[in-house]
Structure 1
């Protein structure tokens, strides 16, 4: 049985707001080549929605059918044939959902139409209730392949597996699950369930026996541990008593006590030696300080005396040198005063000449500015006229209707025309002539003439009543015409026009005004140039701001033009005289500075020598006032003797202090004390441990632990024997079950064998000499090429996609031979195929198209434009395509 899609129309479905149609689909290979984002995958999704998704489903998937931001009802119409019998399906989602399935002999709507579809196509009643679940789509769910859905080799869904199994049962001659096999299987499964879970884990009797054995082993181990603990307590008690006796012996030993008393005496001696050492060190520092102070006093007195003699010599020399330079400095100062007076007179004459030149330039600039202002006022008058014209033209240009809005007006007008044609074509025409006095239309008197009827109407002629019912399409066309006129009139009213012709005339006038605006703008730019005299920038705004800033009163222009060349020559003469006077003054100042420079170090040397002499004299006088200065020599000798005696005493005290080290003695005392504390703590701990062990022996000794341990050991051995017996029973049942399962798999292999043989004929064209292996769910599992077995899941994406397409073609052939409806749709297939395999797969798909309808949706023009087939294209049905 063949299924052929003839025509597809989609409206308000995702990106397709306006109706889109694919028409002219034929038997064999149909190729639709469109660029990315053209809506090829959307068309496949619309087909799936039409055939498999329940019309009144309110799921995330059905909500996604509506175009983004629109609240409309997605609608799909599909014309198709099954065994050359024509069928049609029209389905509407979300708003007023509906479905209608028709053929020349019958029509079904609502749930009945959905059930009719399931019967025709072999899908399940749950189709489309789960978002994106194609497993309920039946045969066509396997053969209508969307983008990326064939990038891995997967098993067919349950519906197809059951269908193929029923086909193969007749060929193989064996039926799984016969009555005898089922009785044995159920009995073994019942026994197996007493010991094992479905996943092979222990439970029931086996778990109980193992738990009982483990509990008995635990009880025996606990009894043995308690008995062993009692025996260990006797041994530990004897050991603790022995350690306690040794610890008490260590505490009673007098050796550490005597050693500590000796160390305490040594500590007192060491502290006294340290005190004497500190005293001797202080005496040494005092004697050394006195000797150093007396030595410093003598050294400073000698240094000050030497400095006074040197300062007297330098002062005498500096005074002699300054006497020779003093007369030249006085003469140079008098000359600098005279040249300064001459320079000031020349500077005054220069200022007066420059002031006269500046005043002349100002009068000259004022005259030029007056003329420039007059010209700017003239341009301002012209600018006002041009701007008025530009404002009028701009206002007219703003009445332009945007192109998209005008296109909308055109679209609405065209839809009105189309609706009027549909009303005229679909209406019922009624002509009245003669005497119509006894005739009424819906109770109103009728007059002779022609009537176009688009709705139900009651005509009464005397006592006879006639009810006319035009076709349903006429009423719909009348409603469409009314809606189209409303939209057209609303759009015309929005733009303030009454007709489309008036809108176009208004746009023509607006275009002409826009051109005039550009001309006026250029004239305004030309009428407002920049003016350097007025510091005026170009442009109308700058000119307006300048005119607005002019004072209200009229300025009087200068009456005469100044002689700028004569004024400039006077400035040059004044500058020359100033330069000569400035040169003479600078020469006098340089001579004065040179002499002052020569005199400065001499004056500084004289002042420095005088200062050094005063300081040295004052320092000598101060030092000689010191109390120790008169007897300095004798005092210095006595201080040296006392420092030597103090050093000898300090050395002796240092030797005495090093004999007994306080830190070492303190560490030895701390060690003895720590040893005593440790012995005391050991005694207390051992006494506690002995008491605890004696209590344990007293409490556990009379409980018969040996008898309890023997009884628990015997119970554990019995439980282990029971576990061994139950485990043997469980393993026997599992072996029987596994044997039965192997038999089932052998029988199942008899089913997958014919499938593999059918697939091999197709796949060998792609991989010559290869063998196939299928899983129980009829999924292609492994490929054997030569000595190498490869898991299909590890093959490249391209190879997996090619195998997935080929297995679907093989299943389609098998199902078609059994009279089931099949067709193949491939959305952007073979994207990962190289050129050689792409050519081969294209040939295989073309061969399959000789047996069934194949629809290939692709964006790869270069890869498929040469392929022989029925090349179709999208047809956009909305009216804008005509403009």
Structure 2
């Protein structure tokens, strides 16, 4: 791409349209005082190529004049595909357009895509290497985005011109591999090697920590459950001692002896005894009903949990068995493939030895066959060149077809103007009457406007004929006739009858021209000098020798087969080992799943047995029995209370009766104290047992083991990625000299204009000069003077421009006051470097240093008002 003209309107100080014309190849200079608008031109060009037309951001907002307006920027460019005009407008009615010879090529988003393809890269493209904004003389200046864009452009350029490094370990594939490695490692770890928050490594570690914490909580709950069980056993033992038959009988005997001493209280004592017995029976019945109900509920819950665990364990065992079967099959296939690959490698080695023995004798025959084949192909290519040359001169060229298109468009416009003033007829048929009206032999279409240019007869079926007299006729008849005559005359010049034939002929001419370029390249490839030269080389070859072992392949094929077989053998061996490890892992997983399934089945069987023992009891019925038993106990307690309240006062037996009752009351009070304690412990045990904390603890231990294994695998993967990254960085460092050789070769003669025998050393990460070696001293670039740094950056950009041009990616070099620190002596040598590098490049220099830049020479540019 080369700029030929620049147009601005409503861009900062340029509220009226201005343009820069006559931009030539080589050095172009726009030298003017400060505030003249040079930096405005630079910023406008950047906006045109890199800011979307729909943007309303700060960068484009700074281009608006103080009074407001819609900035418009356009350029005329020259490319290998022809000349184009690119234009953009922002804010008010934003648009982007690409035209060629006045014909619209692309607009809006398609125009933006066209511009991006023209630049050939991302943000900044190749121009990110070559365009220097005012005040930013260093290669590392600009915003972070601009610096990254320039780095990507440098890496893309150097990688594309260093094919040998590309085939080794450097270049874009190395960059892609290293970037992929860093990306995958970055998902696991930070730059300091710590687990990245939210990453797989951190999540695996967090999972281990969380499961460890859960396990500790469950372990404490299991300890609490064991303690509650021990306390309940102790309290139940004490309650059993108090409620044992012997204890009860002893208390009863003492009570009977006390009541016998007082016959008057005997009847009442019997009532108290009966009431107490009834209360005891009711209490036992209520407790038994509660225990039966709790046991049934616990057994039902345990059975459901055991059933689900058995189901899950069975599914895991099935999956593990399937995985093991696949792993066993894969291992067998890998073993067979490895054996086959090893046999192939051995055969390839033997074959190569036989081929190499034949190679020397076959060299002359191969050369003769090659020359004969090239002579035949070159002769065919020369014939194709002659044919394509003849065809490329037939039919209209681009100028001719554009002219014909313009005449055809003029004819279409004239006809439209004629029809707009003509008498018009519109026929709307009644249902079933379609096609009843004809103009000559043509049917009059339904609900369609028909222009009438002259007297016209309409034939109406069943009615007759209707004649329409349009009077003087529509305007523009002469224009239509003239336009048709012009188009026919222009077509006749090419011996054509219609635009369709013209377009077809133009297309065939373009195809022939494109084909001519290809066949010329083929002819040059087959016969770089001439066909006669190939024939002379063939005549000088010795007489062909008899060829032995004709069934053997060529050496390259044998070597390729050996290399391929070696690679296949190594790959198959690695696959075989990997599949074996996977099979061993599958075996371990299946064994573990079988153990878990057996444990789950045993637990389910235990739960089924417990549920079967209680299956004859209904939960709702047990709940009713428990409610009735509690009611009966409350009634018994009320009766005991009533009898005691009505007991007679017998003085003679009062002391004995009190002592006996105190013994009985103490036993009952202890029972009353023990039962709530036992009930509380039972409830605590039932709560923990119902939550299956012991099973949860076992499951958590299993999950923790799996999580620890996963964390170990993640940590191994992190170590592998870190080792791979170090290996890739080492390989890229080894290839750095070859990687930088193309730019160093372009830069070396420029550098020697200022410092003979000087050399630049490059940084691997930034792809920028790191130090300057001159007079045997190595000087880091960042400690050099501002002028020296500026001159190095300037020369490096010229070298990058030359590399781009050699790769067929021409981009203009635009320098906005780029040599602000350079002294008068060196600036002339910098001017020499500009002209030395210019060649077929295009360099545009914007400067306010009018006196200093008089010695630059080149094409002088001016900003002029655009003609209205």
Q: TM-score range by the shorter chain?
A: 0.3 to 0.5
Bigger radius of gyration? 1
TM-score normalised by L of structure 1? 0.37
